[in-house]
Amino acid sequence: MVDELIVTIDPKQLQMINDFKKALKTRNKILKDFLKGQSTKKQALDLLESINPIFLKLCITLTEMRIKAIRNIRLDFNTAMRNISKDQNVDISVEYQAFERNILDLEFTVFRDLHVQRLQELREAELASGISLVGPHKHEIVFLMNRKDSRFFCSQGQQRAIILSFKMAQIVYHRKTHGEYPVLMLDDVLSELDDQKRNALIAFLHDIKTQIFITSTDLNLSDSFRLEGSSVIGIERGQILNLKN
Phi, psi (deg, nearest 5) at residue 5 = -65, -45
pLDDT at 60 over 90: yes
Q: Which domain holds residue 187?
A: 183-244
| CA pair distance 21, 125, nearest whole angstrom | 21
Q: What is the CATH number of the domain that holds 40?
A: 1.20.1050.90
Helical residues (DSSP H) of the chain, grouped into ranges: 2-9, 13-35, 41-85, 111-121, 123-129, 150-153, 156-178, 195-206
Residues 86 and 147 in one domain: yes
Which of the two residues, 66 and 204, has the higher pLDDT score?
Answer: 66
How many domains, in total, are found in the chain?
2
Average pLDDT, the chain: 87
0.85 exceeded by pTM: no
Looking at the structure, do residues 97 and 207 belong to the same domain, yes or no?
A: no
Q: What is the pLDDT of residues 68-97, one digit of tens each?
A: 999 999 999 988 888 887 777 888 889 999
Task: Express as a percent the part of the chain with pLDDT over 70.
Answer: 93
Tell me the pLDDT tens digit for each residue of 223-235: 555 556 677 777 8
Most confident of 8-17, 108-117, 205-214: 8-17
158 lies in some domain: no
Give φ, ψ of 238 to 5 degrees: 80, 0
- If asked whether residues 34 and 140 sit together in one domain, one would say yes
Residues 26 and 90 placed together within one structural domain of the fold: yes
> 243 pLDDT exceeds 60?
no
Report DSSP letters for 219-244, one per residue. SS--GGGGSTT--EEEEETTEEEEEE
Same domain, 145 and 194: no
Q: Is residue 175 one of the residues assigned to a domain?
A: no
pLDDT, residue 220, reads 61
Residue 84 lies in a domain: yes
